[in-house]
A = this chain, B = another copy of it.
């Protein structure tokens, strides 16, 4: 039940960018600043680009920009860009057992967990994350 390091990288990168929403950041700058392996960050940014969270520009002075304002990007967007749809349990052994055993007693619970988690992620915008962390500083 752990967030992947990859998602952590993505959130960190976008948080970093969120501080100056209009600026273009080179992959190199993000990588160095956030201590993320450059070539690995490349893969991550690719997903964020194809999912429409950031725009990219090749060439000198190229890099990445947020497509939306930090108040319009929430953690669910980021999560799903990286991991796909949030699933807590995969109904293991689907074909075999689940058919055999009436209704699985677990599913409703994990679904409640899923729903509540999605709600929290959805309610948390990049903007708020940043505001909150600044507030914590004082």
A interface residues (Cβ-Cβ under 8 A, vs B): 1-5, 8, 11-12, 15, 34-35, 75, 83, 86-90, 92-93, 96-97, 102-106, 108-110, 112-113, 116-117, 120-121, 124, 129-130, 132-134, 136-137
The chain B residue with its CB closest to the CB of A33 is: B101
Partner of A105, one of B15, B88, B92: B15
- Give the CA-CA distance A66 to B120 in the complex, in Å: 35
- Give the CA-CA distance A75 to B136 in the complex, in Å: 33
Which chain B residues lie closer than 8 Å to A34 at the CB level?
A: 97
Interface SS of chain A: helix
The chain B residue with its CB closest to the CB of A12 is: B106
Q: Contact at B1–A90, with CB atoms within 8 Å?
A: no
Of all A-B residue pairs in the complex, the 10 with the closest CB atoms, nearest first, are: A105-B133, A105-B129, A103-B136, A3-B89, A103-B133, A15-B105, A116-B116, A109-B124, A35-B97, A113-B120
- Give the CA-CA distance A87 to B12 in the complex, in Å: 19
CB distance from A76 to the nearest CB of B (A): 11
Which chain B residues lie closer than 8 Å to A105 at the CB level?
A: 11, 15, 129-130, 132-133
- Give the CA-CA distance A90 to B11 in the complex, in Å: 14
